[in-house]
Homo-oligomer: A and B are copies of this chain.
């Protein structure tokens, strides 16, 4: 595995300059686009890593996987009364679908769906930001994970589209709490900073039928785990989900910070980080890395 990661890493080291880093949040625009890291963790406790694996980045939309898991743990299947499970077919922050489908977001991984999930987490937890952070710390087996408060604030100040989405959903009655509070929690969850090793570790329960190998806790049921994986496969990469399933063939979730995590059920989790994004908002070097990884190992869920 060490050899394989080294091979893939070297093949991709020069793959920069074909996209641009996220710039809609001022704090994200300043990042060095050359940074690149890969980490693999296996359910029997092995860890492999290469590149800038000690550097932390904000997980952004990858946090949607964790908040979904947290709320599924707290609410169970009732969650599907207020958010759907179908691919969205439009861009990740589109308002059209919300207007046409009366305030029910298509799935938990578009921004609209994640805002609704966050709203319900606020309902169920008196200190929602604290609870989300502690949940991710438990998953990663580490207390050394934090919000990047500057990025949270930067995103909060410029979240016009997300505020528009949130107010639209509220106009249909599908958000309970004050929009500014929902946005505050949401921007904090997006700002959680991890390196690729921490990201791979915190996602490993999804490869292990929902059980955390670091403390032995069953986080969510095996069935719930399969369902999150199926959602990641069909909806995890915005408008590029089909392409990702086609090229990589693993459940995955990306964030505009340049991170992507993917799951091989029963085996391992892999996290990649490379800040430059393609037109769909996904790290193109990250996708190419995962495609090489899946192809060279001959792995795929299909």
Chain A residues with CB under 8 Å of chain B are 84-90, 94-97, 99, 106-107, 160-161, 163-168, 170-171, 179, 225-227, 229-231, 233-235, 239-243, 245-246, 249, 251, 265, 300-302
Contacts and interface: CB of A to CB of B under 8 A. Distances in A.
A299 B149 CA distance: 43
- Copy number of this protein in the oligomer? 4
Contacts of A84: 242
A254 to B, nearest CB: 15
A87 B163 CA distance: 27
B230 A249 contact: yes
B246 A85 contact: yes
A229 B229 CA distance: 16
A300 B265 CA distance: 10
Contact of A107 (B85, B242, B249): B242
B89 A87 contact: yes
Contact of A96 (B87, B95, B161): B95
20 contacts: A84-B242, A86-B240, A86-B243, A87-B87, A87-B241, A87-B242, A160-B171, A161-B167, A163-B163, A164-B167, A164-B168, A227-B302, A230-B242, A230-B246, A231-B246, A233-B234, A234-B234, A234-B241, A265-B301, A265-B302
Contacts of A166: 164
B99 A95 contact: yes
A106 B160 CA distance: 20
Contacts of A96: 95-96, 99
The main secondary structure of chain A at its interface with chain B is helix
A233 B87 contact: no
A235 B242 contact: yes
A242 B176 CA distance: 26
Contacts of A163: 163-164, 167, 179
A110 to B, nearest CB: 11
B230 A87 contact: no
A160 B96 CA distance: 16
Nearest to A298: B222
Nearest to A245: B230
Contacts of A301: 265, 301-302
